[in-house]
Copies of this chain bind each other. A is one copy, B any other.
Amino acid sequence: MINNNTYFQIELTARRIRQYGQNVLKSQGIDITIEQWLVMNVINENESINQIDVGEKLVRDKPTISRMVNHLEKKGFIIKTSSSTDSRKVELTISKKGETMINNLYPIIEKIRFTGLNELSEKEKEIIGTILMKIRKNLDK
Q: Please name 19 further chain A to chain B contacts, defined as beta carbons within 8 Å, in addition to the given A12-B59, A13-B135, sorted by A numbering.
A: A2-B57, A6-B117, A6-B120, A7-B113, A8-B38, A9-B132, A10-B10, A10-B17, A10-B132, A13-B14, A13-B132, A14-B15, A16-B135, A16-B139, A16-B140, A17-B139, A124-B131, A127-B128, A128-B131
Q: Report the Cα distance A16→B59, complex, angstroms.
A: 9
Copies held by the complex = 2
Contact residues on A (Cβ < 8 Å of other chain), bracket:
35 or more
Residues from chain B with a CB closer than 8 A to the CB of A5 are 113
Q: Report the Cα distance A138→B119, complex, angstroms.
A: 8
Is A29 part of the binding interface, using a Cβ–Cβ cutoff of 8 Å? no
